Structure 1
Amino acid sequence: MTDRHHGVFAISVAAEMASMEIQNLRVYERRGLLQPARTSGGSRRYSTADVERLCRIGELLADGLNLVGIARVLALEDRIEVLEQQLTDAG
């Protein structure tokens, strides 16, 4: 089984998978919307989870949210995921 958080895709591949421009991925990283892994040489490596997040960013942009709004939505969705996992673990 593969770890969906393990960075394996180069920026060009991740951009293509998410139907985005490479420069947008760099902007989203600078804005803190995602943090791809880095190789020892400093190259970005995107995971399956990162690509899923990029697709979610694209959906939110299409809905008319700006990057500040998207950051808030993603933070809330991340928190919900943590709480749901805690409930699962406790039950």
Structure 2
Amino acid sequence: MDSAIPIYVISVAAELADMHPQTLRQYDRLGLVIPSRAPGRARRYSPKDVGTLREIQRLSQEGVSLEGIRRILELENQVAALQSRVQELGAELALRRSQPDASRVFAAGLAGDVVTLARGKRPRPRSQALMVWRPDPQSSGDKRVL
């Protein structure tokens, strides 16, 4: 079961988190836990929301202020987003490394011919200038000078 699916009404979520429903409403107003809304504006909490409520309760019992809790939750969300992005980039890097042609760098030789360079190595300087470029994957067709 997906932990992000909103399935609990406020009374059930409050009971699962061992809190009063009014506390959940207050946390919603403060932006600590923002439940989904069903038709008619009724709050619906997911298992993930209930876990967050339990974490809020634990932190509160340890003496952390609500503002401190809000900041902790915000930072935890940022860390999770960054970890997800690192995994995405790792998968993209693995894909690029598995494609041998995608890792080559080309240059124009002095006679106008195309020269394949070893990755990370530059040609020896000669009396004429040599520009090495490859498409920048972050832009649409722009060139990046190496």
The question of a shared fold, defined as TM-score above 0.5 by the shorter chain, is answered with yes
Task: Give the partner amino acid of 2:76.
Answer: E
Pick 1 or 2: higher relative contact order, CA cutoff 8 A, min separation 6.
1
Match of 1:24 in 2: 23
After TM superposition, the score normalised by the length of structure 1 is: 0.94
How many residues matched?
90
What is aligned with 2:62? 63
Match of 2:49 in 1: 50
CA distance in 1 between counterparts of 2:29 and 2:20 reads 15
Q: What TM-score, normalized to structure 2?
A: 0.60
Structure (1 or 2) with the greater helix fraction? 1
Amino acid at match of 2:14: A
RMSD, matched Cα: 0.8
Within 1, Cα distance between the matches of 2:17 and 2:11? 10
Percentage identity across paired residues of the two chains: 42
- Report the Cα distance in structure 2 between the residues aligned to 1:89 and 1:52, rounded to whole angstroms: 26
- What are the ranges of 5 or more consecutive residues in structure 2 without an aligned counterpart? 91-146
Rounded to whole Å, the distance in 2 between the matches of 1:84 and 1:63 is: 27
Give 1:3 shift. 2.4
Instruction: Show structure 1 runs of 4+ deviating over 3 A.
Output: none
**Residues 14-71 of structure 1: CA distance to partner in whole angstroms, max 9, x if unpaired?**
0111111111100100000011011111111000111011011011101101111110
